[in-house]
Each structure stands twice: as structure tokens, then as C-alpha cells.
Structure 1
Amino acid sequence: MTDGAAIGERARRMLPWLVAVAFFMQTLDGTIVNTALPAMARDLGESPLRMQAVVIAYMLTVALLIPVSGWLADRFGTRRIFIGAIVVFSVGSAACALSATLGQLAAARVLQGVGGALLLPVGRLAILRVFPKDQLLRTLAFVTIPGLVGPLIGPSLGGWLVEVATWHWVFLINLPVGLVGVVAARRYMPDLRDGAAQRFDLWGYVLFGASIVMISVALQGLGERALGFASSMLLLFAGFAALGGYWLHAARAPQPLFGLGLFSIPTFAVGLIGNLFARLGSGAIPFLMPLFLQVGLAYSPAAAGMSLIPTALGAMLSKTFAEPLIGRLGYRRTLIGNTVLLGLMIASFALVDLETGRWALMLHLAAFGIVNSLQFTAMNTLTLGDLEGRNASAGNSLLSVVMQVSMSLGVAAAAALLVAFGGHTQAQGSAAVVQTFHAAFACIGLMTVCAALVFAQLQTCDAPQAVPRVPDEH
């Protein structure tokens, strides 16, 4: 393995800044696009309530490439992969801005997702190999700060760009940042690699990746009626067959992509399955709320973006008391109670209408941000808290995949509900379209409440003894 300690002192100081900026680019892109969806729809001749492919294409691509990011860095070096990720992300951003149809935009988002999927994992890997253990916590905490700033300014920046320019600048803004990132990475990103890394489980990756894509596309096709029933069912069957094939493969392979032994750890199994179902609701709201504010309540893009700031502020506030609260109540009581509360908070957005004052709405969104962030913190620390050694790396990677897949399914579910309740046929700003969103919020909230049944399987003795400090949002 290339020795990370051999890099210069200046490069060591600049590396956390470089990775932090990459993290900021990734999280900003994840939130800035949602506010611009109605403007994109008008320009592309599409219904604003059927723009979910723009979001889902990116999320699924990120989910598919997370498992391979570490192997690519070990095989080709962190510097080459990191620079390549920035270049691909920037080229994808330019392609998004040049897109003339929804299909072209979705394809460009796939390309953008290829770069976005590699940025943070490779950057974090470089930090893990350069800094000693006694400096890791402080360094990783510094790197994650921009991950909180991105969601804070992303919606308002997206809305502002749409109003003062066009939606294309939501993507073009990445180009100068990407250029600076390439220059900085050439100077400060160490070229670390591990020639003795374990062999990549290619067959397992193909089976696992194929199952994710086919199941996701099938469920999306069934919900939105975008595919015929027979085609959707065939994809769904093939997806579950691929997943079953992976399960049998992992039971025999000496070094599988994700070992089945992970599921013998009770906290990991409950936490992972709970993440899958609870994030359906959490993943739907960043897609639904900007659309609701603009299409349902007739907010301007900038006003809609500004209205979402309290959600990010509430998430930041939650971090100040999440750890002692979980320590006092325990994981089981925290997760059961907070999951039910989160579902009710999502369903309560059905009470927001054209008469609701903006300050009342912003307080509502701030409360949602607090509850949602507490949910993330509790779920993720539970899932990773009992993992050690090689299990920690594989478990963290699998959790990241499940998070992305669950959020993409949440977006697909929200879009399917809007179509099912007839939202695509109603006029913007009408009482009918508001009722369509109300029905979608109520259904998504009830789906989230059901996730509490998963966390009810926790036993008091199963929970980690302490709240581990692990990334809770990404």
C-alpha cells in the first residue's frame, strides 16, 4: 500500500479542505435541483409532477457505484479516481444544462451521478489513510460540515438561479467549481493505492446491481403506469431472481461483496431494514415539498427555496441533543416513538393549504427537520454501532447503498401517488392540486409510521452500549 504518511505537510493540511469542497458539491447538487423542477418541466414540455426521473436517475447511479468506489481507488489510485470523478461530474453537469428533453436530462443525470458517487468515498478513503487515528474524528467532523451547509443553501440558491437566470445555471454553476477542484486535486490529493487489496467480487456486484435496478424500475413503472403491467412484473420477477442469486452466491463466495454474516448482527439487521422503510418518507419530502410550494401553493421558486431553509436549520439543532436523548431513552424507545412522530409530521403537511401563513409553514418545516435528523442519527448509529473490522467497511457501504435506494423509491412512490390522485391533470395553484398533494402527504406519512414495526423488533440488550460517532446524514 502506498504510504499516506509520505505526503507533504501542505498537502496534508489542504486534503480535508479538498474533500470538504467535494462533499459540498455533492450535497448541494442533491438539493438545488428539486426547487428547479417546475421550471425544467415548463421548458421541456413536461408536467412538473412527472419529473421524478431527474432525481431517481442520480440516486440509483450513486447507489450502484458506492460498492465499487473503494476497489477502484485501490486499483487505480485515489488521485486518478478523484480527479476523474470531478471531471465526469462536471461533464455530466454540462450535459444536463444542454438537455432538450426529459430523456436527455435523465441520461445526463446518470453521467453526473457516476462522478458524484465516487467523490466522497474516495476522498474519505484518502483521509483514513493519511491521518492517524487520534486525528481522524476531528478531521472527518470538519469534512462533514459542508454536508450540512449544502442542504441549507441548496433550495434557496436553486430558486434564486431560476428567477434571475434559467434552470440551466443550477448545473452550470458546477463547472467553475469543478475546474478549481481538478487543479487542487492535482496538487493536494495523494496518490494512494493498495496493490494487495482483495479481489473484487464482480459476479456478486453484477447480481446485486442488476437486482437494484430492475426492482426499482419495475416498482416505478407499476406506480406511474410508465411501463405495461406485464413488463413491470417481468422486471420485478427478474430483479428478485437476481437478488436471490446474489444471496446464494454470497453464501459460497470466500470474499463476497456484502457478506451474509452482517445480518447475524441484530442491530445491523434491524437498523438496515428500518432504514429501508423509514427513508421512503424522508426521501419523498425533498421531492414533494418544493413541488407543493410552487405547483400547489403558487410560491415563486425563490420563495419556495427560502421556505425550506428552516428544515436544514432544524436538522442542525437536532444534532445538539440527539446523542444525550438517545443515551437516555435507548434506541428502541427513541426509534419507535420518533418513527411514529416522523410519519405524523409528514402526514400533517396535508393540513397546509392556500390560507396557511408562511411563518406557520416555516415553523412546521423546522419541526420536521428536527424530527427527521434525529431519525437519521438514531437509525444510522444503531446500524453501524456493533460492526468491527472488515464488517465495518462492508456494513457502512451497504448502508449507504440502502439509503440511496430507499430515497429513490420514496421519490418514485411520491410521484406515483400524485399520478394516482390525478395531480397531472389539474391546474397549477388550484384547490384540486392542493388536495392531490394532501393525499400524497397522508399516504407517505402512514407508510413511514409502519416502519416503527421494524424497530419494535429491537430488544433492549441488542442496542449498542454507547452512541457511536458515525456519519448520520450521508
Structure 2
Amino acid sequence: MEKTVSDGLPIPQRYGAILTIAIGIMMAVLDGTIANVALPTIAHELNASPASSIWIINAYQISIVTSLLTLSFLGDMFGYRRIYQYGLVVFTLASLLCALSRTLEMLTVMRILQGFGGAALMSVNTALIRMIYPQRHLGRGMGINSLIVAASAAAGPTIAAAILSVATWHWLFLINIPLGLIALVLALRYLPANTHKSQQRFDLPSAVMNALTFGLLITALGNYAQGNFNWLLAAQLVALLVIGTAFVRRQLRLPVPLLPVDLLRIPLFSLSIGTSICSFTAQMLALVSLPFFMQTTLGLSEVQTGLLLTPWPLATMVVAPLSGYLVERIHAGLLGGIGLAVMAVGLFGLAYLPANPSDLDIIWRMVLCGAGFGLFQSPNNHTIISAAPRNRSGGASGMLGTARLLGQSTGAALVALMFTHFSGSGEHASLMLAGILATLAALVSMLRISTGKSAA
């Protein structure tokens, strides 16, 4: 029989458990961006148009966001360990089938399947970290998680370029097979079983409405971002309003809802989710608009642009683990507020760059943004997870991932809005809006200092 865990794992088992979490979340985050660089090549080999090849990316993202909360709920019911292991199996198998795809349609379907596997990994990874680390050291686990996410997001294009320089695009997916098998062996040996499981029955109508609500939201944002103001967008918005309203009303009647409205009634939890959405929206506003500014306005090459964007994730990678240690001594609301304020200073600095900036002018501002984001992210994730009761850790973990995806999707759509309404200065408007959002989030984060303590 599996052993349960009450307050963290002993040291040897803890290292094995956090290693499998690191490998799994690295693969899931990497595969959100690793195929971007190869899209033109894949489209050519599969006889697909450039526009239709975008579905290789969209299929993965949409399948994650539509299934994340459902899988986190199942984690509460059946165990985070089991959902994570199933996720590794599905993700690894789907990666093999992606590599074997010979048509765009087959590759798109396999990317949907891969997205479901990735969602299983993302939905319970922070819930598992809560079980792996003792409560007093939970911040360290969240710091490691933030480090892995930041490093994977930053390294995606670089790893893809390195693989494509020596192999075909199929190896972008085949590389997941040995990694997935290693992670699965580690998961079977080291991951802990749930101490408490939810006794609530699974509500299928809620799962369907959840998928439709978030699927419509993401596709509507995508259509809006591309300037498609037509009957299809109008129909999506009407359907989103009707289904979304019915979904929320149903959740309010359930004792343990799929959309954790019960957790959103906890002030500390809801404030932390709100600041998370704002921070990822601000980050995406900057990271999508800056390449246009650097290449169009400053006349830099793609390589120069990539190098000048790198200080942001590098600074996050350095600061995130440090802030994970600091949250054990300093209130997360204060740390997060300071981090978001530093990020806002960097964003406003980028918005008001001199006419002919040097590389150093850009680099120190990027470092401020990345360091501020890293200082905020680990304590905020710590607060989201620890503010929820232990038997609702899956719901909290799912909301954490959903907040990140919603923030990123909203940020990308807002860049399109800024480019449309501020012709010629869309980059400046995007960075200003990012700075304003980071400032507001810093103020909200400070409000958490006076809220109640985290759940046990």
C-alpha cells in the first residue's frame, strides 16, 4: 500500500519527487513554444498553409486551458500522484505520435492529445509540491517551480534552434520520449500519495461547460487579436456570455465546485489570483510588443532582439529561488508588492527609452522587469497554494495554471488592441499599459498584508 504524507517527504525521497516534477513541468512548458521556430518547415513538409499551421500551436494551448480545472478536480478526487503519472504517459505517447504524423490534421489531433497530457502535469504539479515540502519550506519548492517554468519558457526557441540545426522537426517531439520515461520511473518511485481525497462526485455537465467557457474565451481573444471583428466573433461572445453565466451559476450551487468559487471567497486566495493574472498580462504585453519595437523602430536583427530579450528570463531564474527562501521570513504580500513595483519601474523605463538607446540602456531595464517578476512569482504561488485547505490543493493548483494562461492570452490580445488604436506607437502604448497593470497589481498585493493567514 502507498504511504501517505502529512508534512513533507524525507530528504532522499524529496529530491527524487521534485526532480520528476521538474522534468514534467519543463516538458509541458517547453512544448508550448518549442514548435514555433519550426512552423514554416513543418507547414512546407505537410503541404499546409502558414495560416493553418498556427493550429499546431493553438491546439496545444486550447486543450490545456479547457481541461486544466477538470484535471485538477480529478486530482482532488483520485490523487495528484495518479493524475500526474497518467499525464506523463499521455504526454509521452502523444509526443511519439506527433513525430510520426504525416498530415497537418493528424499532427493537430496529436497536439490536442499532448495538450491534455500537459494539462494533467500542470494541473497538479503545485499541489504535489505542497505534499513534497514541509509547510515551513514550501516557499523553496515554489521557488524551484518558478525557476523551471521561467527557464523552460526562455529556453524554448533556443533548444528548438539547436535541435533543428542537427536534426529534423520530428525530434522536437521525440526528445520528450526519454525524458518522459525517466520522469515516469521517478514518479512511480518517489511521488507521495494524497493524505486527504475529496469525496465529491465528478460533475460531467460542469466539465463540459468549463471546456466550452474557456475554449470560447481563448478563441474569442485570438480572433479579436487578429482583428476579426465579424459575425463569428459576435457569436463566440454571445455563446461565452450564455454558457459562462450558466457555468458560474451551477458552480455556486455545488458543495465542491469544479471552478473553485469556494476558494475565491477566501480574500487571500482571490487577491493572489488577481495579481497573478495582472502580472502575466503585463509580462505578455511587454514580451510580445518589444520584438516589434526592437526590429521595426530600432532596426535590430532577430538575433540581436533575442539576445536583448534574454536578460528578463535570466533575472527571473536567478531571483525566483531566492524569493522562495525569503517568503519563509517576509510576508508574501510585501515581497510581491515590492517585486511588482520593481517590474513596473522596468516597464515604464522601457516605455521611455531614449531615441537611440544603447544595449546597456535596454539590458538594465529588462533585468529590472525579470527580477521584479521573479521576486513576485514564487511568493504569490506559495500564497495561492497555502491559502487553500489541503484537500482542495488540486483546485488551487488548477486555478494557478489557469490564471497564468488567461493572463498570457489577455496580454497578447491587448497588444493587438494597442497596435490597432495607437497606430505608429502601439509598442509604447503596450509598455505603458503593462506598467500601469504592474503598478495596480503591486497595490493589490500590498492589501494581502492585512488579510487572514494561509490555510494549514
With normalisation by structure 1, the TM-score equals 0.73
How many residue pairs are counted as aligned between the two chains?
447
| Deviation sequence 1:86-128 (CA, Å, 0-9, x none) | 2322333344445677666554432221111112444555565
Asked if the contact 1:89/1:116 (under 8 Å) is kept, the reply is yes
Aligned residue for 1:69? 71
- 1:3 matched to which residue of 2? 3
Give a deviation string over 1:140-187, Cα, whole Å, max 9, x none.
655665445434543322222334444443333222222333444455
Residue type matched to 2:208 in 1?
V
Report what 1:463 is aligned to: 449
1:212-267 superposed Cα distances (whole Å, 9 cap, x missing partner): 111221232233145x6112111111112222212322332222224544444444
1:373 aligns with 2:365: no
Residues 279 and 441 of structure 2 are in contact (CA less than 8 Å); yes or no, is this contact kept in structure 1?
Answer: no
Matched with 1:219 is: 221
Q: Provide the C-alpha distance between the structure 1 equivalents of 2:382 and 2:10, rounded to a whole number of angstroms.
A: 34
Tell whether the 8 Å contact from 1:270 to 1:455 is kept in structure 2 after alignment: no
Listed one character per residue, the Cα deviations across residues 35-91 of structure 1 (whole Å, up to 9, x for unaligned) are: 55566567676559x976544443332233322334434655656543432232233
Distance in 2 separating the partners of 1:383 and 1:126: 14
Provide the residue aligned with 2:119 in structure 1. 117
Equivalent position of 1:205 in the other structure: 207
For residue 159 of structure 1, what is the amino acid of its counterpart?
A
Instruction: Report the equivalent of 2:183.
Output: 181
* Ranges in structure 1 where 5+ consecutive residues have no aligned partner: 422-434, 470-474
* Bigger mean CA offset, 306-315 vs 446-455: 446-455
Distance 1:71 1:5, change over 3 A: same
Indicate whether 1:447 and 2:433 are aligned: yes
Change (3 A) 1:175 1:328: closer
The amino acid that maps onto 1:376 is: Q
Q: Which AA in structure 2 matches 1:409?
A: T
| Residue pair 2:252, 2:261 contacting (<8 A) in 1 also | yes
- 2:434 corresponds to which letter in structure 1? T
**1:341 alignment counterpart:** 345
Correspondence for 1:428: none
Relative to structure 1, is the Cα distance of residues 168 and 279 closer, same or farther in structure 2, using a 3 angstrom cutoff? same
Letter in 2 for 1:233: A
Structure 2: gaps of 5 or more residues: none
| Distance 1:321-1:178 versus aligned 2 partners, 3 A rule | closer
Q: For the residues of structure 2 that align with 1:186 and 1:391, how far apart are their CA atoms? A: 23
Q: Distance in 1 between matches of 2:349 and 2:360?
A: 17
Deviations 1:410-436 (A, max 9, x none): 334446767x59xxxxxxxxxxxxx99
- Note if contact 2:269-2:384 (Cα within 8 Å) is conserved in structure 1: yes
Specify the SS of the correspondent of 1:219. Answer: helix
- 1:299 is matched with 302
Aligned pairs for 1:56-455 (under 5 A) are: 56-73=58-75, 81-97=83-99, 106-122=108-124, 125=127, 128-129=130-131, 145-151=147-153, 153-189=155-191, 197-225=199-227, 229-286=230-287, 297-300=300-303, 307-319=308-320, 320=322, 323=326, 330=334, 334=338, 337-338=341-342, 340-341=344-345, 343-345=347-349, 347=351, 361-377=362-378, 380=381, 387-388=388-389, 394-414=395-415, 420=420, 439-451=425-437, 454-455=440-441
Aligned partners of 1:260, 1:221: CA distance in 2, in Å?
28
**Deviations 1:445-472, CA, capped at 9 Å, x for gaps:** 2332442575487496652579989xxx
Given that residues 341 and 439 in structure 2 are in contact (C-alpha distance below 8 angstroms), is that contact kept between their aligned partners in structure 1?
A: no
User: Contact conserved, 2:87 with 2:116, CA < 8 A, in 1?
Assistant: yes
Contact 1:284 1:411 in 2 (8 A): yes
C-alpha separation in 2, matches of 1:242 and 1:291: 36
In 2 relative to 1, CA 347–382 (structure 1 residues): closer, same or farther, beyond 3 Å? farther
Q: Which runs of structure 2 are paired with 1:43-62 in the superposition (5 Å)?
A: 53-62=55-64
1:368-416 CA-to-partner distances (Å, cap 9, x unmatched) read 3223334535655666675555566544432321221221233344467
